[in-house]
Amino acid sequence: MRKLIAVLSVLFISIGMFAYVNEGYVSPVVNVVKYASPAVVNIEAVGKSQQSSLYDPYFDDFFKRFFGGELPDTQKDVTAIGSGFIFDKAGYILTNYHVVENSNKITVSMADGKKFDAKLVGGDSELDLAVIKIETQTDLPVLELGDSDKINIGEWAVAIGNPLGLKHTVTLGVVSALNRRIAKPDGSGYYVDLIQTDAAINPGNSGGPLVNIHAQVMGINTAIINTSEGVNLGFAIPINIAKRFASSIIKDGKFEKAYLGVVVQTVNEELVKALGLKVETGALISDVEKDSPAEKAGIKTGDVIVKLDERVIESNEDLVSYLRAYSANTKATIVINRKGQELKLNVILSSKESKIVTAKKSYFGITVREITADDISEMGLKKDLGGVMVETISSSSQSILGLKTGDIITSIAVNGKESKITTLKDWESVASTVKKDSYVALLVYRKSYGNFYTKFYYRGE
C-alpha cells in the first residue's frame, strides 16, 4: 500500500509539473486566425446550362451525314465550391477564376453564417484570378494585403479556407520554396512565380488566403500536387500579382496584359548546332512583329532571350508564362544573347488589346479577333495555321457550342458547304451571309484538345 501511495504521489506531482509548462502561453497563430477568419468566405458558384433556340433535334442526323460524329451531351447544373477573402470594405473579394468560371449564380457565405449573392466583376483564366463583389450595408471585415516580394523561405504560412466543403479550416506550415512553376491541369500553360508551402491545401481551398504570422495575405491558394505523386505540396499565386490584377479590374473593368510582339521557341541541341547559338537554354526569337514593343526595343530575329528582369528564361514557356503576369504599359528589362554577346534592353510593354483587330460585329453570339505573334508563341501554333480566335461568347451560345475564349475557328460549314477561315475578313464574309434556319458547323482548334467540330441550327438573330 505504501508503494502504491508513493507511485501515485509521484504521478500526480509529474502531471502537475507538466500542466504548468508554458502556462499562459498563446500561440501567435491563434491570434492570426481570430483576426483573419471573419474576412475569409466560402464560395458556391452554380453554372446552369440549357438548350437554346440554336439547337434543333434533327440536326444530329444532318451532321452525321455531312460531317460525321455525334452532338455533345447536354450540360447539367454544376456547383463549384471554393474560397475567397474580402480585401475591400466595399465588398470586393479575391478568388480563383476557376472557382467562378461560367457561373450564373454565386453565393458567398461568411464565417458568422451570413450569406450574400455575389456578382463577377472580372476574371482572367490565364492568371486564374477573379474579383467578385457583394452588396451590404454591414461593416465588412477585410484582410490586409502584404508584399509578396519580401517573403522569405522558412517563414510561417497559415492557409484558411473551405477544403472539401469543410468551412473555415486552418492549416499551418512554412513557405517551403519560391518562384515555382507548375503545369496547369488543363494543359493551357503554366502557373509561374508560385509560393510553395507545406501547409495542407486541398480541393475547396482554391481562392483562399495564405497569410503570414502578421495576418497579411502573401498569396492566393491555387494548386496542389497530385496526391498520387506527393503530399503537403501546395501553391499560391503571389499577392502582388493579384493586387495589380484587382486594381485594374476594379478601375477599368478588365486587365490589360502586356504585349511584346514576338514569336519564340525553346532553344534545344538541334537549334544550337544548326544556328551556331552560344547558349544552351532560352527563348529563341523566330519572328518580330512590325512596330511592336520588341522591335522598338531593338530585339531581332535570331536573338535568344535569357532573362526577363530578374527571372531566368530557359524556354519559350517561361517567357510566355512570365509575361502573362505583367500588365500593359509597364517597363521591363530583357537580356538577350546575340551571337555570343549579351545585351540588356529596356522595353515598354504595350497593351495587347491595342494591337489586336477584333470583328466589329458578333455572329451566333460569338465575337472573334485576328491571331497575333504572341498568340502563336503562347499556344505553340504553326505560323500558317490561320483562323480567327474567339474573343467573347454569350452564355447561351457557350452552353450549346461548347466554345471557350481562346479557341481558334479554322473553317465554317453552312448547309453542307465548307469554307476555310484564314483571316478575319474570311470569317465576316461567310458569317454575315448565313441565313436563318441554316445548319452550321465550325471546325475549332483548342490547344489542350486539338481539332473538333461544333455544330448548331441557326434560327436567326
Distance CA 224, CA 275 (A): 40
Distance CA 322, CA 152 (A): 21
Residues 441, 455 contacting (CB under 8 angstroms): yes
Cell numbers that stand for 289 in this block: 512583329
Distance CA 346, CA 344 (A): 7
What letter does residue 99 receive in the DSSP assignment? Answer: H
> Is residue 88 annotated as part of the catalytic site, yes or no?
no
Cell numbers that stand for 99 in this block: 472557382
Other CB atoms within 10 Å distance of the CB of residue 386: 18
206, 248, 397, 411: which one is catalytic?
206
49, 83, 98, 292: which one is catalytic?
98
Cell numbers that stand for 352 in this block: 495587347
> Is residue 139 annotated as part of the catalytic site, yes or no?
no
Q: Please name the residues in contact with 279: beta carbons below 8 A apart, sequence gap of 6 or more.
A: 267, 272, 304, 306, 337
Cell numbers that stand for 343 in this block: 545585351
Find where cell 471546325 sits.
443
Query: Which has the closest alpha carbon to 236: 146, 318, 329, 314?
Result: 146
Residues 183, 222 contacting (CB under 8 angstroms): no
The β-bridge relationship of strands 258-259 and 283-288 is: unpaired
Residue 222 is which amino acid? T
Find where cell 491571331 sits.
371
How far is the CA of 26 from the CAs of 22, 74, 199, 419, 459, in angstroms?
A: 9, 54, 20, 71, 68
Q: Please name the residues in contact with 301: beta carbons below 8 A apart, sequence gap of 6 or more.
A: 285, 286, 287, 288
Cell numbers that stand for 50 in this block: 440549357
Distance CA 13, CA 226 (A): 49
Residues 334, 307 contacting (CB under 8 angstroms): yes
> Is residue 214 annotated as part of the catalytic site, yes or no?
no
Q: Which alpha helices (DSSP H) does 123-264 contain, by range?
A: 239-252
- The residues facing 77 across adjacent strands are none
Residue 29 is which amino acid? V
37, 83, 128, 248: which one is catalytic?
128
Distance CA 42, CA 170 (A): 13
Residue 311 is which amino acid? R
How far the first Cα of the chain sits from its last, in Å, is 97
φ, ψ (nearest 5 deg) of residue 167: -65, 140
Active site residues: 98, 128, 206
